[in-house]
Amino acid sequence: MRDFLPADKARRERLLGVIRAGYRAHGFEEIETPVMEDSSRLHAGLGGDNEKLAFAVLKRGLTGDDLREASDPLALADLGLRYDLTVPLARFYASHRSGLPAVFRSIQIAPVWRAERPQKGRYRQFIQCDIDIIGEAGSMAEIELITATVATLDSLGLDGSTVRVNDRRLLTSTLEVFGFPAREHEAVLITVDKLDKIGPSGVVTELRERAFPTGPIDALEAFLSRAVTEDLPFGADAISAALPDGVDPLAVAELAAIGDAVIAATGSPVVQFDPWLVRGMGYYTGTIFEIAHPSVGYSLGGGGRYDGMIGRFLGTEVPAAGFSLGFERIVDLVDLPAERQLDAVALVFAADVPPALALGLQRDLIALGQRVRLESQPRNLKPLLAHLAAAGFSAYALVNASSTVGNLDFRALERE
């Protein structure tokens, strides 16, 4: 969990402003949810490994004996800090459905908390930037989410990003073709998800060590060792060529239609099929996607369809899909031009200037549409002027007891 100095905070807010504007331009509306949710919701088996990282909030009134005698610490907690924004959104929609449109497009930009082991790029408090579409069962939801996200990334200067796509139905269909029993699919996918880190041989070795059936592992190993078809333009043929014979043809066709629509809308081959993209969250039911950028080797965000989640809270199935940007990773890559506030000025007043005069000048300049900071004049003016310039102020004026708005002599501040 980190502090941010004014310049860092201003930079982060500029980026968040661009992201908000990009999402709003595509018809999404911003909501806000509490930082805490019921512990039972956060530990409903929907958050994958993130549930293990949730910060729990103990019930009020517990005694030392309660803490010592508890066999399950979670039994002592009734609330927890949210570890993502999707579970709160599902609860929000279930609570407010009657006041929302049939197809609801939401923006959530807010902090979340996970008990991570702190390291570069991983924090215990960080910002997520989510857009979600609830109530749209067709592929238009995924198409809108991907195009809005790509456009927003472009506006941040991260052009050249690609969206890797897959479908959970294709993953399970592939495992079925190889012969893995349905009860073992999730466990197998945990290992398959490491393919980019440990390679095909590492995946096969780990599966054998975990005592999965030999026949399916042999089939997977043979498939991973096959000669790879040359790159084809995105489409049903390219998807089929990357998968074993016999996978779900409907899922292939639907995924191809999504990618084709996004490519047509953006005029760029921004979508790529990744047959081994898994996404570890247990609530995904269909299309899944992640953002890749050539400058880094990690994902900048991801999402997918999670049709089963809202029904857990509402009792009625409602289709849903979402896309989340990893803001803390993006902020390290983006270098937006600093805002130069031409109307941000400083009044540096001498010791003999009455406070009422300085405040009156400030009030009058604010009424003219300017941002005004009051500073008492130090012996050495240079450090103060350097700080003002770094903070985005464009000019300053020295104020004396006879100053008026009309006779202030503003001098430009230049950044080093």
pLDDT in tens, 41-73: 887 766 666 788 888 888 887 777 777 777 777
Structure tokens at 238: 């390219």
CB atoms within 10 A of CB 145: 28
Question: Where are the chain's structural domains?
Answer: 6-330, 341-412
Specify the CATH superfamily of domain 6-330.
Answer: Bira Bifunctional Protein; Domain 2 (3.30.930.10)
pLDDT in tens, 112-153: 999 888 776 678 899 999 999 999 999 999 999 999 999 999
Would you mind telling me the total number of residues written for the chain in this entry?
416
Q: In Å, how far are 35, 47, 67, 292, 343 from 30, measured between CA atoms? A: 16, 23, 40, 26, 29
The structure tokens 């247990």 sit at: 282
What pLDDT score does 193 carry?
A: 85
Tell me: the pLDDT tens digits for 154-208?
999 988 889 999 999 999 999 999 999 888 888 888 888 888 889 888 989 999 9
Other beta carbons within 10 Å of 277: 24
Q: Do residues 20 and 30 make contact, with C-beta atoms less than 8 angstroms apart?
A: yes
Fold agreement between 6-330 and 341-412: no
For tokens 């030999």, the residue is: 214
Beta bridge partners of 345: 372, 395
Give the tens place of pLDDT for each residue, 327-369: 998 988 888 766 555 578 999 999 899 989 999 999 999 888 8
Distance CA(170)–CA(155), nearest Å, equals: 32
Residue type, 134: I
Contacts of 120 (CB under 8 A, 6+ apart): none
Q: Compute the mean pLDDT over every residue in the chain, rounded to the nearest whole number.
A: 87
* Structure confidence by residue, pLDDT tens digits, 254-296: 999 999 999 998 888 999 999 989 886 667 889 999 999 988 8
Residues 6+ apart with CB under 8 A from 157: 334, 335, 336
> What is the distance between the alpha carbons of residues 170 and 247, in angstroms, rounded to a whole number?
7
Would strands 36-38 and 77-81 be described as parallel, antiparallel, or unpaired?
Answer: antiparallel
Name the band, by pLDDT with cuts 50, 70 and 90, for residue 229: low
Model pLDDT for residues 375-399, shown as the tens digit of each residue: 999 989 999 999 888 878 889 999 9
Instruction: Produce one character per residue of 382-392: b if its CB has 16 or more CB atoms within 10 Å, e if not.
Output: eebbeebbebb
Write down the pLDDT at residue 387. Answer: 86
- The phi, psi pair for 61, rounded to 5°, reads 85, 10
The residue ranking higher by pLDDT, 405 or 231, is: 405
> For residue 349, what pLDDT is reported?
92
Q: What is the CATH number of domain 341-412?
A: 3.40.50
pLDDT attached to residue 280: 67
Residue 339: per-residue pLDDT: 59
Q: How confident is the model at residue 410 (pLDDT cuts 50, 70, 90)?
A: very high
